Structure 1
Amino acid sequence: MSFSGAVEDALYERGSGVVTEPDFYRLTQELFASGRWRGEPISRLPKAWDGPRASALLSRFIREGMLTRDRDFGRGVYRLLDREGGETAEQVATLVDPFCYVSHASAMRLHDLRRGPDVPLHLSTLTRKAWGERQTGNAALGERDAGPAYPRIVFGDRLRRRTIAVHEVSRPVTVVEIDQVRVSTVGATFATMLVEPHFCGGMASVMTVWRRHARDHLNAIVEAVDEIESKIAKVRAGYILTEVVGIEASEISAWSAFAQRGGSRKLDPDGPYTPVFSERWMISLNISVANS
């Protein structure tokens, strides 16, 4: 089989109708390096392989009608034309962006912490600067491993007919895979609720989730809260776990070191300040705990 024929077969065996430029380069580079497909030598193997050669072959497949640009992306993402695109928006997002993961309220739904539709679909990915630093780090591993420095995939406002909200982070959280989708771990999802509750259904909804589910995921929560940089999120977590859920542990008590007397810290960052406090955690209880 010819090299281009082997590439075509390999594309159809990937199990996905979505192909990115980095995906295409890695696939062709692996075939070139092995020189074999399905145990047989590849005929008419190129003398060398690099980014420009991969781009030329990709353009040829587009001209021949095998690939087309994906409608939801400006460039860099393609679809196999004769394969039905059955991927969900979550699956497509984490397929095309290796640093993208489902987060916030959408992660809560995937972890069965909340019900109902997640509108918009919340996704997190690296900032442009962090993306470039990751590529520089990968390049240090060698040309064969890193490949060309392809630009970051840019998301629009909608993906597979769903409204999306993209959050940029300088450092991604730990992720797991659920239904072929990368999603923040359950512990990281709980921690995110206290950093940005407005993207997680609001603080009242967050309080309800913590009261119902925190005991079931306590170890994961403690580990994730320890890792986040936000001091006020640690204080919120400490207050909720000790004074609302009723859990006492030395690891949780240690977060009281981040409490600040005389400040204007609030349990709900988006609610008005009220002069009702937790003495232990030195935080304004500006949301009704009884009704949350």
Structure 2
Amino acid sequence: MARDTRRTVISEFGLLLLARQLFRDRGYAGQSLPQRNGPLSTKRARNLLAEVTFTPFPYYPDLGARSGQLLRDAEFSGPIFIVEDGDAEAVLFDADPFCYLSHASALAWHGLSAPEPDLFVSTADRSLWARGARETVAELLDDDLDEWGEAGSLFRMTPPRPFPVLRGRNLHRHERSDPVPPGDFGADVDRVSPVGVTFRDSIAAPGRCGGAAKVVDVWRKHALQHLESIIAEIDLSVEKIVRVRAGYLLEEVLGVQDPRIARWVNDAQRGSSRKLEPAAPYAGRFSKRWMLSINIDDPTLPAVTA
């Protein structure tokens, strides 16, 4: 049943759902469940899980999996089981329902920059992930929630914890309190931050997008084609420095005049942390209007010198 889902990996909770389906339908793929099997109990579900999965035990290397068992995925710190081969993106999407491409990977997906060898993803932070999991469990378990919900710790829906290298790719996983809601995604291939959010993230965290110099290049080449989406997302940002950087790039670099952008200047303030590139030292070249240090090596960027 797990392999018929065409998933690359599956969690213990996912296996529980398959077991419930099997006992509810009293069979699968033309094979009936023997009559001696009564309703699915917690004990029976635990035994089925143990029978169908295998976790290698380091002290007994000669102890191997039986034919057909699902092997625990060694590239996760928690119990995730391999169903079939898949690349890093497919594995993450199957393991984490709230995960999506972001930052440098989203820039590449939208055609705004060249593809990166590393994989950049975002997901809900601990509290939001737990809330989303509770809602998902309640929806999927429905009438059986009391028996099979979070009280059954073996089947609890928990955040997957991938290691820094997944399927041969360096993974940069960002837990955030403002993730893109899963309902905003289309098919699995569209699990990527929308273009306006991607532009916003690029100036909120340039280090996850190749640095501020690369981000400036992306904005110069592509921002005007996505102006309305960008302005809408920047307006929603809780970070004042995001509006300041965006205001500088749109007004002074790209020459955009818009009353919505003009209002962002209210967020400008003096301070050594007000930099275009947060990872670089403060520089004497700055935007007087936006009170922003232009601290990247690009003399074509408009600025004055103290």
* Smaller-chain TM-score bracket: 0.7 to 0.9
Counterpart of 1:217 in structure 2 is: 226
Give 1:15's match in structure 2, choosing from 6, 9, 19: 6
Gaps of 5+ in 2: 54-64, 151-155
Counterpart of 1:100 in structure 2 is: 99
* 1:250 lines up with 2:249 in the alignment: no
Which secondary structure state, in structure 1, belongs to the residue aligned with residue 234 of structure 2?
A: helix
Pairing 1:38-57 to 2, within 5 Å after superposition:
42-44=32-34, 47-49=38-40, 53-57=44-48
When normalised by structure 2's length, the TM-score is 0.78
Counterpart of 1:59 in structure 2 is: 50
Q: 1:257 to 1:13 in 2, by over 3 A?
A: same
- Once residues 265 and 211 of structure 2 are traced to their aligned partners in structure 1, the CA distance between those partners, rounded to angstroms, is 24
Contact 1:100 1:126 in 2 (8 A): yes
Counterpart of 1:191 in structure 2 is: 200
Contact 1:191 1:221 in 2 (8 A): yes
- Once residues 116 and 137 of structure 1 are traced to their aligned partners in structure 2, the CA distance between those partners, rounded to angstroms, is 35
* 1:227 lines up with 2:226 in the alignment: no
Q: 1:22 to 1:226 in 2, by over 3 A?
A: farther
Of the structure 1 ranges 186-195 and 242-251, higher mean CA displacement relative to structure 2 is found in 242-251
Contact 2:105 2:115 in 1 (8 A): no
Q: 1:186 to 1:231 in 2, by over 3 A?
A: same
Which secondary structure state, in structure 2, belongs to the residue aligned with residue 184 of structure 1?
A: coil
Of the structure 1 ranges 20-29 and 217-226, higher mean CA displacement relative to structure 2 is found in 20-29
* 1:290 lines up with 2:297 in the alignment: no
Q: 1:43 to 1:30 in 2, by over 3 A?
A: closer
Structure 1 residue 257: Cα displacement: 2.2
Structure 1 residue 282: Cα displacement: 2.3
Structure 1 residue 135: Cα displacement: 3.0
- Once residues 41 and 169 of structure 2 are traced to their aligned partners in structure 1, the CA distance between those partners, rounded to angstroms, is 36
Pairing 1:60-209 to 2, within 5 Å after superposition:
60-62=51-53, 64-66=66-68, 67-80=70-83, 83=84, 85=85, 87-118=86-117, 120-138=118-136, 143-144=141-142, 147-148=149-150, 149-174=156-181, 176=185, 180=189, 182-209=191-218
Structure 1 residue 141: Cα displacement: 5.2
Corresponding pairs, count = 276
Structure 1 residue 59: Cα displacement: 1.9
Contact 1:25 1:51 in 2 (8 A): no
- Once residues 263 and 80 of structure 2 are traced to their aligned partners in structure 1, the CA distance between those partners, rounded to angstroms, is 47
- Once residues 99 and 265 of structure 2 are traced to their aligned partners in structure 1, the CA distance between those partners, rounded to angstroms, is 33
Counterpart of 1:238 in structure 2 is: 247
Give 2:271's match in structure 1, choosing from 244, 263, 267: 263
Q: 1:96 to 1:276 in 2, by over 3 A?
A: same
Contact 2:73 2:80 in 1 (8 A): yes
Contact 2:124 2:176 in 1 (8 A): yes
Q: 1:226-256: per-residue Cα shift (whole Å, max 9, x none)?
A: 2221110111111101111122222222222
For 1:159, the aligned partner's letter is L
Q: 1:124 to 1:151 in 2, by over 3 A?
A: same
Structure 1 residue 274: Cα displacement: 2.5
Q: 1:235 to 1:70 in 2, by over 3 A?
A: same
Contact 2:102 2:122 in 1 (8 A): yes
- Once residues 255 and 202 of structure 1 are traced to their aligned partners in structure 2, the CA distance between those partners, rounded to angstroms, is 23
When normalised by structure 1's length, the TM-score is 0.81
